[in-house]
Structure 1
């Protein structure tokens, strides 16, 4: 699981949450050492400073702390410990108690979040091209509603978004996890408190058992999916609750731990810090996480809290109580909120590229802005202990802050939609309803048309982001792991077609749907899509290095179902294409082709198309940033046209029922593959052709389809 865009979050709490749980009559424990009781614990503030430092260094200089993302795990443990302790002291057993708890969370957190989002959104409007507004607005919206973690899960499993550029707000995922925790945790504790009274059971012990059970169940779930579904494991609340629950267990049972000797107590914080730093140094973006690996930072954080800020000659107090450390701990929530947007947005504001010197300049700016945010936003809205009308104030603040952010996001999305709609209207006026080639799109490279050069974009970057064939969109016509029932879509003449054509392959077959649909509508044919993400059209998937081992069985099952349908006698032609740039031998595809031709179905293989295939080369974004230099967003045929073992296999077979088509001359000139052809942006992402550009290839694909249909007779 890569963590390059994962921005672990932090949390600073209300004054009453700085304290450890109120001690009972038990033997004095490590967790109740000096600094506990009802006074702010400086050791916990220092732990916050350490955690946010890990996160910031990881984001600014990831090679220094490749596992610095574990700072989020440290924050989860802190939050679980403090919140559980506060709720145990005053369990919410009614609507008033729940409402006051949630209102305090709103007053504590929402104003700072809203200010960060609003300032960042206004900066996006000011300095970034329109094509980046949609992503910014959508992520800001889910961040304000505290569901950003689920948005990132969706993006990670969305074939078209998995390699997207990082959002200035994606670090809000961890805040979303914590807010969801804050929503459910008081309900659990309140329910246990009520049942304890009715059943005459000891509240603290009953709650400890309940929290321990939830923690173990969440940890087991995390272990189960960390290897098979890493994005879900990393971002989902059920897979992360155990880390907050670990802090809760410590808050309940920590008082049972007897205080060790002074020397042993002094060693505990050192060991804890060593464990957290070891995790930050030994883990990296390729580590399976959270899973077992998350035990190192979380247990380290728990041990640090359990130590209870011991004093003595070996104590860490000289560091943890130092003014600068306490300052960073006190403003850690604001540092977390601001550091990522500033890292992404300030360089374009200044017109500079990211560099070590710029990042060194950013660090004091982040600290200064975070202090201002804490002093004049967080502290102004924070509810004082014992204050009245907390619920009413919290509701007003929630409505105002959420309303402001949501309104700005919706306004930005409406602006982008309007621009995209205008581009679509211009395109509709210029598009041809016949299969005659025109100078729009691919026809501009047709020497017979003698098209003039154009510097006008008919399809704008805003429009092209939505100009995607349905056959490669998960949830529409794309089969995507984990595979369920076979998904297939029918296009063209579906009422009484004279021919039926199957489109089979991975997403690079799917992006040919618009051209085939135009051909089918002209001739009265039907096209059925059979597009598989993460699979190759190979009968034995383990023969292709392009298929992940975990998908072998699923790909073989789904491919078998597709071939059963295609060979059922109802298809006049199968069009195949795929992207396979791994060292797959061409003969791996022969069995699939022969399975089709053996059933009397002719096969047309279309050579894979050129593409940047680089997540850093987003054509629409590049064109927005280089409106006067389109060549900066292009490439060469040698770079963008890669091997195609399926096409090679078809050409080598010599079977009259197997034909081939190579249309790359309509996408690349002799020495250049352009990002814009005939006013149409070629790529909807770094991988796939836009639907509009592909549709303009229909006149050049049609002769190959007609010839392939004749080969079956």
Structure 2
């Protein structure tokens, strides 16, 4: 009896694609179940590096390689489907997207069309004003943007390798015997090593930004690309032992892919070193070029092959549905909604593959590179034009609404804003303020003080040098400083008005996410180092600035980083006591403003759905709204007359609840900041408190 000779089975790229896209989609639908499903993107990056480099290598070997032809083929493969999804998504934003998100979402559609979405998200990750951006229906285009940037640069590197290799004639190779390969491997190795080092360092210092930027991801493509130059494991061997080794290696790779998808969490520093696990797993599976009989049969199943075939279209369509369905149904995604999204995604992917992608690919011989580039430019210009129109419409609408709010502030009606809940007096109402809130809820996110944007904007994340901005009367005899994070700067406009009226000089010092304290909150390494230096320098500037009064405030409910044996409360309050008493000892009066209550989750969405109804649905209990704020306790513990507290809690809340609309004014612009309009209605209260502290008249 003759023993059957084992036949090595190649790794099925379609099956890998199916696993990767399945992990991503299921993660987006059930993030609590598949906490690390985002590693599917890393699998795609390795596959892309391997396939594209293999194709280029074959073209170079056949002496048919052309950079422009390569770009043309990639465009015809990828852009028809992506442009369709972007165009449909733009229509969806007009129809289903809330107006307050149009500016952000259309901006991201434009960036995705130009395949720069990853850099937009990276910039937003360090932009304090963008920290609460709602995930857009095209956010997933960040990975496609990275991939397209890879496709743009990679053929140029290969072309450089061919040029250098042909000049050097490494090893004495004759023409056609790939003297360029050692050069390409050397270049790729340099890219992999430098990018991996950058990924680890960047992830440690700024993980939010590192997740999106191309330099932290290039090594993943590079690993796949290097595989294209590595012979298959046991190539040419057909022994049972070789087949067994291939199977073991392939299964080990599968485990390294599936494990992180199940066990990684949002706390896992990523990409960095942890990305090496799924990347290595994918490399092992591809490098083995084999599976055992079970996985071969599994990979060969028609559903697996189908999902792998339409994986690109599935990736394109699934996320817009995840974002839009809650707006269409009026409630968060439920199990039935998620199942429906899966079904519709597969249907749309099949239709896109059948009627868009395949017909274009069948006719690609008719598209010369020049014609392809021209058609791409026209299609991209059309989508970008729609996105630009959306951004402009959003901007103009916001400007009109904010102008209306400014006009009301200049001559406020009775009981307008904070005046509806006077300190120490009974609440009042004005029937004229019943219809609609000011500013309109869909404009509230844009209602920020000018100091957040222009010449007085706070320092960037890594900046450690305070940049004071003079407002009010620069020649005033009374000098005031406003210092702190964004929860201090939200009072900048109202304090500037008060200072101008009284002839006071007012300097502002601001750094987002950096409370003016001597102790550390939980922060990434870059922000912690910058904050520490910024506060030290700001303290010196305040002491030398001849200020009569320093006003500060800070966000409540943050996580502090106390040493062992110290409670977070003792740590936070002690840091304020040390800093404030040091200033007071130098003759500078300090006043802290207690932080605002935190509204209920999704307060603007709630108000959007219910008009200006301020029923219990959109309110939050006083107990939940008032998060831990170390400032009141620090003032009390110091017990000195030159350190005091201003507390407007009873303006925001009654004995049991805190309100999202007060006196016809929208209180919050996001999950924790006041609208500039409401902050400015606090002006009479601020003026009364400050004139009392400074011993001047408020008249």
TM-score, scaled to structure 1 = 0.87
1:116 and 1:337 in contact (8 A); partners too: yes
Counterparts of 1:603 and 1:95 in 2: how far apart (Å)?
74
Greater shift in the superposed pair: 562-571 or 638-647: 638-647
1:104 aligns with 2:73: yes
Shift of 1:272: 2.0
Q: CA deviation digits over 1:491-536, x for unaligned, max 9?
A: 2223x22322101222221111111011011112221112233333
1:620 to 599, 604, 613: 604
> Residues 574 and 628 (structure 1 numbering): CA distance in 2 closer, same or farther, change over 3 Å?
closer
Shift of 1:685: 1.0
1:430 to 408, 432, 435: 408
Q: CA deviation digits over 1:439-493, x for unaligned, max 9?
A: 3321122357944142322311233211112445699522343233222222222
1:299 to 280, 286, 306: 280
2:346 to 356, 367, 371: 367
Counterparts of 1:510 and 1:533 in 2: how far apart (Å)?
9
1:604 to 565, 568, 591: 591
Gaps of 5+ in 1: 1-29, 36-41
Counterparts of 1:412 and 1:111 in 2: how far apart (Å)?
22
Counterparts of 1:651 and 1:678 in 2: how far apart (Å)?
31
Number of aligned residue pairs: 663
Residue in 2 that maps onto 1:326: 305
Counterparts of 1:152 and 1:432 in 2: how far apart (Å)?
37
1:650 aligns with 2:628: no
Local SS of the residue matching 2:293? coil
1:471 and 1:507 in contact (8 A); partners too: no
1:400 aligns with 2:369: no
Shift of 1:203: 0.7
The within-5 A match list for 1:84-483 is: 84-91=53-60, 97-201=66-170, 202-254=179-231, 258=235, 261-309=242-290, 314=293, 316-351=295-330, 353-382=332-361, 387-432=365-410, 438-446=414-422, 447=425, 450-453=428-431, 454-472=434-452, 476-483=456-463
2:465 to 471, 485, 498: 485
1:663 to 624, 631, 648: 648
TM-score, scaled to structure 2 = 0.89
Q: CA deviation digits over 1:88-134, x for unaligned, max 9?
A: 22249999922222222222211211111121221222223322322
Counterparts of 1:61 and 1:648 in 2: how far apart (Å)?
41
Shift of 1:401: 2.1
Greater shift in the superposed pair: 577-586 or 218-227: 577-586
Counterparts of 2:63 and 2:460 in 1: how far apart (Å)?
45
The within-5 A match list for 1:541-580 is: 541-542=519-520, 545=521, 551-580=527-556
> Residues 521 and 566 (structure 1 numbering): CA distance in 2 closer, same or farther, change over 3 Å?
same
Q: CA deviation digits over 1:590-627, x for unaligned, max 9?
A: 22112212221112222222222x6xx24333322221
Superposition CA RMSD, Å: 2.8
Shift of 1:59: 1.2
Q: CA deviation digits over 1:204-259, x for unaligned, max 9?
A: 11111111111111111111222221122211110100000001100022358645
2:22 to 53, 61, 75: 53
Q: CA deviation digits over 1:663-696, x for unaligned, max 9?
A: 2222223333221122221111111111111111
Gaps of 5+ in 2: 1-5, 171-178, 560-567
Counterparts of 2:455 and 2:276 in 1: how far apart (Å)?
36
Counterparts of 2:215 and 2:525 in 1: how far apart (Å)?
26
Residue in 1 that maps onto 2:480: 501
Residue in 2 that maps onto 1:703: 688
> Residues 90 and 591 (structure 1 numbering): CA distance in 2 closer, same or farther, change over 3 Å?
same
Q: CA deviation digits over 1:319-350, x for unaligned, max 9?
A: 11221111111100000001111122134334
Counterparts of 2:528 and 2:580 in 1: how far apart (Å)?
19
Counterparts of 1:249 and 1:142 in 2: how far apart (Å)?
30
